[in-house]
Structure 1
């Protein structure tokens, strides 16, 4: 398994996504040298993995509301993802 960068794991989802967008813009612009582009690509991949893990964790916590016969909320059940 890939080693986790402590700086990346401490970022909020929003901060990680913003940094990933900055990396994509810089790579697409072509302004990075080859060595810098390789480093940025690696950082971007770690950020992507972190964002995916955070989204999966959030999805696992989502609950679906079930409605009773009277149309009122009756209970919640774990999100089934499908």
Structure 2
């Protein structure tokens, strides 16, 4: 599944959950699907970050921390 497909499906899952029209059982299933899709999207983003770092000639040590600061 591509990043775009996972993202689009995740958006649809969130919209269904926000509507509140689903049963508890269906809401739990949707939540689990959303978690899986979010993890897949994160894998794609992490891979892209690693590829960019490699293309710049540095390892992931050159990437900013999650809080936006550099490691140095």
Query: TM-score range, shorter-chain basis?
Result: 0.7 to 0.9
Of Structure 1 and Structure 2, which has the larger fraction of its residues in strand? 1
**Residues 4-32 of structure 1, C-alpha deviations (whole Å, 9 max, x = no match):** xxxxxxx1000000000000000001111
The answer on whether the counterparts of 1:60 and 1:78 sit within 8 Å (CA) in structure 2 is: no
Aligned to 1:77: 57
1:35 matched to 2:17: no
**Bigger Rg over Cα:** 1
Task: Choose between structure 1 and 2: higher helix proportion.
Answer: 2
Which aligned runs of 4 or more in structure 1 are off by greater than 3 angstroms? none
Structure 1: give runs of 5+ residues left out of the alignment: 1-10, 66-75
Q: Deviations 1:21-49 (Å, cap 9, x if unpaired)?
A: 00000000111111000000000000001
Match of 2:35 in 1: 45
Paired residues of 2:53 and 2:63 also in contact (CA < 8 A): no
- The structural deviation recorded for 1:50 is 0.7
Tell me the TM-score normalized by structure 1: 0.68
CA RMSD after TM alignment: 1.8
Partner of 2:57, secondary structure, is strand
